[in-house]
């Protein structure tokens, strides 16, 4: 068995769960690309960001198996999509299908992918039940604003533990203020912030210097945020990890 280095960068959720302080995104990632990263990944913990909408849950499972990276060292993030909530099937059935496709018996983190579905508060109540059953360790949301999170709490008495958001670069002052309001709100409610596309997407990332990317990740980590990296290059991933470590 490969001798993995200990990865010590962690974030702690409101309930005391400890997770790595970054995730590897699987959006548009092929089985071969993910398998290659996992084969060369040197650390003993890795968080994978998956979603039904990405359409590659089975490919993720195959990549893990082919890479020989220990599955019990992976923290899985999954997301339930709007189309799943509108399908007429139970939330439980949708989750069980995701678990089957990922080849796992339970999931570490499960998020509502967006608030587009009008009945998201009912979905939230179902996630609370599934968490109590032990099928989900941590429940949260993605791309939810203050109003939507407050609605969840009003309907259930339970706040999300994680909110995964996208922070775009080159946005208006009003949009910047909304993002800062959301971040402040989440911090006040002890909702962990996870930043998807911390560099603003692949096209913008290409235009940033190494110093700008390093500064971005260092600052995010100092704020105790986690990041999702969409890279398909193991060298880029390891460089990002080194920059995160600067914020420890």
Q: pLDDT tens digits for the chain (248 residues)?
A: 789 999 999 999 999 999 999 999 999 999 999 999 999 999 999 999 999 999 999 999 999 999 999 999 999 999 999 999 999 999 999 999 999 999 999 999 999 999 999 999 999 999 999 999 999 999 999 999 999 999 999 999 999 999 999 987 778 889 889 999 999 999 999 999 999 999 988 788 888 999 999 999 999 999 999 999 999 999 999 999 999 988 77
**Residue 109's CATH number:** 3.20.20.100
Catalytic positions = 54
Q: Is 141 inside any structural domain?
A: yes
Q: Is 6 inside any structural domain?
A: no
pLDDT of residue 38: 98
Angstrom distance (rounded) from CA 224 to CA 22 = 11
pLDDT of residue 171: 80
Angstrom distance (rounded) from CA 97 to CA 155 = 27
Q: Is 26 inside any structural domain?
A: yes
Angstrom distance (rounded) from CA 60 to CA 131 = 23
pTM, to two decimals: 0.96
Beta bridge partners of residue 189, listed in sequence order? none
Beta bridge partners of residue 18, listed in sequence order? 12
Given a contact cutoff of 8 angstroms between Cβ atoms, the answer to whether 34 and 8 are in contact is no
Rg (CA), the chain: 17
Q: Is 32 inside any structural domain?
A: yes
Q: Is 2 inside any structural domain?
A: no
pLDDT of residue 58: 99
Q: Is 1 inside any structural domain?
A: no
In which domain, by residue range, is 160 found?
Answer: 11-245
pLDDT of residue 231: 93
Q: Is 22 inside any structural domain?
A: yes
The tally of domains found in the chain comes to 1
Angstrom distance (rounded) from CA 176 to CA 151 = 23
Quote the Cα angle for 127-129-134, to 5°: 95
Q: Is 117 inside any structural domain?
A: yes
């Amino acid at each position: 068995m490969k001798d993995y280095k200990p990865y010590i960068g962690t974030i702690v959720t409101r309930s005391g769960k400890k997770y790595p302080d970054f995730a590897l995104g699987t959006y548009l990632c092929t089985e071969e690309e993910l398998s290659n990263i996992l084969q060369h990944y040197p650390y003993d913990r890795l968080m994978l960001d998956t979603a039904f909408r990405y359409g590659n849950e089975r490919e993720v499972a195959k990549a893990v198996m082919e890479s020989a990276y220990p599955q019990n060292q992976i923290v899985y993030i999954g997301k339930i999509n709007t189309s799943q909530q509108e399908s007429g099937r139970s939330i439980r059935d949708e989750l069980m299908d995701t678990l089957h496709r990922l080849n796992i018996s339970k999931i570490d983190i499960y998020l509502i992918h967006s608030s587009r579905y009008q009945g998201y508060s009912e979905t939230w109540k179902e996630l609370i039940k599934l968490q109590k059953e032990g099928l989900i360790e941590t429940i949260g949301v993605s791309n939810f604003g203050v109003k939507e999170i407050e609605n969840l709490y009003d309907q259930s008495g339970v706040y999300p533990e994680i909110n995964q958001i996208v922070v775009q670069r080159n946005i208006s002052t009003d949009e910047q203020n909304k993002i800062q309001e959301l971040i402040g709100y989440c911090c006040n409610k002890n909702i962990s912030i996870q930043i998807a596309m911390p560099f603003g997407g692949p096209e913008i990332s290409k235009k940033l210097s190494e110093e700008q990317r390093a500064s971005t990740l260092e600052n995010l980590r100092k704020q105790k945020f986690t990041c999702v990296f969409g890279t398909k290059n193991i060298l880029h991933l390891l460089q990002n990890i080194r920059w995160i470590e600067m914020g420890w």
